[in-house]
């Protein structure tokens, strides 16, 4: 006897007690049918409830509904006969695949013998798509400039390309934004680069115009505005700098820097470039500190006061 095959034992729960097949036929076990009959069965197991079928010995719920129904391979393989649907199915041929009314079968055999074909099959009966009139094709936009992404021309926030004339056309796009110099930097004269300024600051030359740090009153600051041969002073956070030597080195131009001459330039400075370290840039230009009007002896330096 080779039923069930020995390999099935890997999938089937082993019975805990040695029920005889005869006992199972007369009295269904209290155990769920997940426990298959032990020992080699002598032919197909029989069940009294369904003589017309070849049921197995294990039934669901026949023992007064005290059994929790489960499903096993044995149950599936043999028809126990207590289910009308199973009986009905038993008389039918094996299910066909693809299903009779499935789209797969209809599309594979559009013979019409199986009723109205689904829409995909009937699509072949539709009229072919209208031919495209070549004249219409010519009506489509063909200008390469109308759709392509421009690879040339000024980009936002960029100045004009060097060694080229200013762009007068950008390929039909919106008018180019005039951004000759987004940062408003000026072209510094030769010998006035930031590096030149750094070298000058370390040269030991007196860039402040004073022999020693002094107290600067508001009137003194206003007086040194760069006119009438006087140096231009500007205060930043209470410190007064002589900005005259830095004027030709200022990347923003002399005119911009002069706007702060003779006054507190902190607000303008912070509006334009708060990231610039003015103390580093103008360290050698330090004149002194701002004091109240009456606290600034015009002739005495800070060292003399101390």
What are the residues binding ligand HEM (CB under 6 A)? 183-185, 234, 243, 250-252, 256-257, 259-260, 265, 268-269, 272-273, 276, 278, 281-282
In sequence order, the β-bridge partners of residue 107 are: none
Residue nearest to ligand HEM as judged by C-beta position: 252
For residues 12 and 286, which CB has a smaller minimum distance to ligand HEM in the complex?
Answer: 286
What is the rounded CA–CA span in Å between residue 254 and residue 269? 14
Is 56 or 239 the residue whose CB approaches ligand HEM more closely? 239
Q: In what order do the strands lie in the sheet with 233-236?
A: 214-216, 286-290, 239-242, 233-236, 263-264
To the nearest whole angstrom, how small is the minimum distance from the Cβ of residue 171 to ligand HEM?
30
* Closest to ligand HEM by CB, 159 or 252: 252
54: Cα within 13 Å, side-chain hemisphere: 8
- Return d(Cα 130, Cα 117) in angstroms, integer: 25
**Minimum distance from CB of 244 to ligand HEM (Å)?**
10
Q: Are 69 and 60 in contact (CB under 8 A)?
A: yes
**Smaller CB distance to ligand HEM: residue 118 or 266?**
266
- Residue 12 or residue 200: which is nearer to ligand HEM going by CB? 200
Using alpha carbons, select from 76, 77, 81 the residue that is nearest to residue 53. 81
């Amino acid at each position: 006897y080779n039923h069930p095959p020995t390999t099935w034992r890997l999938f089937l729960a082993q019975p805990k007690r040695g029920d005889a097949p005869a006992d199972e036929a007369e009295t269904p076990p209290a155990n769920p049918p997940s426990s298959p009959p032990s020992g080699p069965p002598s032919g197909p197991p029989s069940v009294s409830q369904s003589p017309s079928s070849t049921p197995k010995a294990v039934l669901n719920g026949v023992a007064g509904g005290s059994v929790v129904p489960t499903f096993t391979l044995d149950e599936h393989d043999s028809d126990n006969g207590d289910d009308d649907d199973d009986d009905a199915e038993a008389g039918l041929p094996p299910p066909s695949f693809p299903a009779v009314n499935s789209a797969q079968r209809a599309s594979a055999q559009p013979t019409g013998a199986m009723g109205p074909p689904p829409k995909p099959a009937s699509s072949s009966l539709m009229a072919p798509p209208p031919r495209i009139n070549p004249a219409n094709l010519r009506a489509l936009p063909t200008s390469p400039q109308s759709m392509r992404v421009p690879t040339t021309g000024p980009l936002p926030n960029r100045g004009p390309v060097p060694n080229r004339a200013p762009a007068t056309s950008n390929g039909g796009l919106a008018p180019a934004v005039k951004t000759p110099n987004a940062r408003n930097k000026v072209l510094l004269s030769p010998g006035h680069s930031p590096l030149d300024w750094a070298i000058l600051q370390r040269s030991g030359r007196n860039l402040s115009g004073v022999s020693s740090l002094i107290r600067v009153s508001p009137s003194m600051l206003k007086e040194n505005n760069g006119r009438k041969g006087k140096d231009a002073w500007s205060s930043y956070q209470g410190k007064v700098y002589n900005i005259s030597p830095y004027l030709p080195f200022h990347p923003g131009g002399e005119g911009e820097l002069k706007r702060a001459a003779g006054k507190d330039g902190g607000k303008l400075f912070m509006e334009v470039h708060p990231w610039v370290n003015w103390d580093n840039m103008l360290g050698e230009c330090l004149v002194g500190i701002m004091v109240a009007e009456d606290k600034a002896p015009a002739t005495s330096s800070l060292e003399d006061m101390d």
